[in-house]
Structure 1
Amino acid sequence: MAAPAPATAATVIVTDVAKPAPIPRLLDLGAGKCIPCKMMSPILDELKKEYAGRFDVEFIDVWKDPAAGQKYGVKMIPTQIFYDATGKELFRHEGFFAKDDILAKWKDFGIAFTDAKAAAPATEKGN
């Protein structure tokens, strides 16, 4: 009838501390062989690298995972779904979506990301 070892409580505390803070998410549902989806691929790769830690970028191939297409109510591909940091869907777009348009859409929702390479203030306009 000995008391449980205190190591269990320490393990729980470490696990809780390791949880990352939620961030906005862009989910792209498409397919590897669809032409507009192929056009989106380098854009998604750039966004994933340039904005890592500021928003997540995920891709699901609905031809390989048809259940995902049903789960997210995909009617055509590619479909991009924007989620806030709480997981609430903000916007849904069908078809090709350019990088600048994606970033502008985030800004429409009050989520402005500074330039990926230089964290300059957002006061400058133009190139």
Structure 2
Amino acid sequence: MNKSKWLKILIPIVIVCVIGGVWLLKNAQVSDTEQVSSNNPDFALHVTDELDLDQLKSYGLPIVIDFGADSCIPCKQMAPVLAELNEEYQGKVIIKFVDVWKYQELAQGYPISLIPTQIFIGADGKPFNPENPADFQMNQFAATENGELAFTTHEGGLTKENFLKIFKAMGVQ
């Protein structure tokens, strides 16, 4: 066989392999995203029985935990915002809501003096440490034994715009 016949056979085979490889790569990425978001209970908004912070930190994503109550007026106002953000930012930010009146034990160990209170944790698993916490009306709490930052919180309601500014400061695209 001459060279031109080989090229006529080889070129379509290479093209089919490239197209097949791109298709496989694209579908593999979609299934990873689905595993991280829609099918995974760790990414559900409402916490009903357990808040495994170590498990949530293992995803390497920023975390927002809103401690509130279904019957609290500011919490009710924030509920649609949290639901919308949880849907829009699946796989980018973990957003959780804990009803402290139903699940008081889940709020133990957190600095909560009023509701709603949000806890912000960076993608590195450490408390979010903004350059200027006052810009976001955030409180920071240090651990008494070592003085390291233990919690970054916000007390009161937040709008979607507020959350988006915080997400941007947390490095979320």
TM range (shorter): 0.5 to 0.7
1:29 aligned counterpart, secondary structure: strand
Could you list the runs of 4 or more consecutive aligned residues of structure 1 that deviate by over 4 angstroms after TM superposition?
none
Partner of 1:76: 114
Q: Say which structure, 1 or 2, has more relative contact order (CA 8 Å, 6+ apart).
A: 1
CA distance in 1, matches of 2:59, 2:109: 25
Match of 2:123 among 67, 73, 85: 85
- Cα distance in 1 for partners of 2:117, 2:166 equals 14
The structure where helix makes up a greater share of residues is 2
> Structure 1 residue 44 and structure 2 residue 105: aligned?
no
Normalised by the length of structure 1, the TM-score is 0.68
Identity rate, percent: 41
1:100 aligned partner: 161
Residue 93 of structure 2 contacts residue 172 of structure 2 at CA under 8 Å; is this kept in 1?
Answer: no
**2:92–2:172 CA contact under 8 A, matched in 1:** no
Q: Any gaps of 5 or more consecutive residues in structure 1?
A: 1-18, 114-127
Q: Deviations over 1:55-111 (max 9, x none)?
A: 1110101111112223212110000111112321213111110111111012234x1
The alpha-carbon deviation at position 38 of structure 1 amounts to: 0.4
Contact 2:67/2:116 (<8 A) preserved: yes
Counterpart-to-counterpart distance in 2, 1:92 and 1:103? 16
Is contact 2:64–2:96 with CA below 8 Å preserved after alignment? yes
Alignment of 1:1-127 (within 5 A): 21-90=59-128, 91-109=152-170, 111-113=171-173
Work out which of the two has the higher radius of gyration on C-alpha atoms and give 1 or 2: 2
Matching residue of 1:12: none
RMSD of aligned residue pairs (Cα, Å):
2.0
TM-score, length-normalised on structure 2? 0.51
